[in-house]
Amino acid sequence: MIAHVLSLLLLVVLPAPADAQSTGAPAFAVGDTWTLSNGLVQTVVKVEGDMTVMKGFGNCPTCLVYFDKNYVLIKVEQADGTPPDPAAIGLVPMGSEWKMFDFPLQVGKKWNIAANGHFRNDLLHFNGAMTIQAYEGVATKAGTFKAFKISRDWSVTTPSNSGGRGFSFSTTEWYAPDVKRIVKYTTTATNPNQKDWELVSYTVK
């Protein structure tokens, strides 16, 4: 579940030429839509100033998610404006410390995340080491794309007063600038809710 939710945030930057070795900050258009092999459909429903709103998030496909210009998640709400049930949607990696991308993206770039997040009834601490390994072709059900290959190594612990449990997992994602998102995702996590996925179809403007 945790790796799956994190993966859903890995979406966007400006389209760039196929031979680009660097790509910049997010840009969306209303109607941009992506369908993934895990059944999720994500659609941009509003772009207003530096704010982008998308529909489709993890276990709450009708929820609206709000991102700033650096693609940092700042709010999740149901269609009627009320907060979603945390137990239903699982981990929500929200706030400036959750920097899933460090723009501009370029091969060799590294950065780290140290952040807290609630999952069910546990407060978890996440340490993540991010590396852009390559710019290469990747095949998906939606086609073959030039993409940045990003590895993420995660270490997760609970507070000592909750038993101090810990676990780790890794993900590899391929971000295609021409599609404005991650087009393929793999994980070493063994939880049945944490599965590999890829792009099936898309429409971008």
CATH number at residue 56: 2.40.360
Per residue in 67-115, pLDDT (tens digit) is: 998 888 999 999 899 988 776 777 778 888 999 999 899 999 999 999 9
The predicted model gives 144-150 an average pLDDT of 96
Q: Name the domain count of the chain.
A: 1
pLDDT above 90 for 9: no
pLDDT computed for residue 112 by the predictor: 97
Domain assignment of residue 170, yes or no: yes
The mean of the pLDDT values for the chain is 85
pLDDT computed for residue 161 by the predictor: 52
pLDDT-derived band of residue 7, with 50, 70 and 90 as boundaries? low
Per residue in 148-166, pLDDT (tens digit) is: 999 999 999 876 555 567 8
Distance, CA of 115 to CA of 135 (rounded, Å): 28
Between residues 10 and 30, the one the model is more confident about: 30
| Least confident interval from 8-12, 75-79, 189-193 | 8-12
pLDDT above 60 for 193: yes
pLDDT above 70 for 192: no
pLDDT above 60 for 10: no
pLDDT computed for residue 6 by the predictor: 54
Domain assignment of residue 20, yes or no: no
Model pTM score: 0.84
Q: Which residues pair with 157 in a beta bridge?
A: 125, 166
pLDDT computed for residue 164 by the predictor: 61
The predicted model gives 126-147 an average pLDDT of 97
pLDDT computed for residue 163 by the predictor: 59
Residue 87 lies in domain: 2-11+25-203
Per residue in 22-56, pLDDT (tens digit) is: 898 768 999 999 999 999 999 999 999 999 999 98
pLDDT computed for residue 176 by the predictor: 93
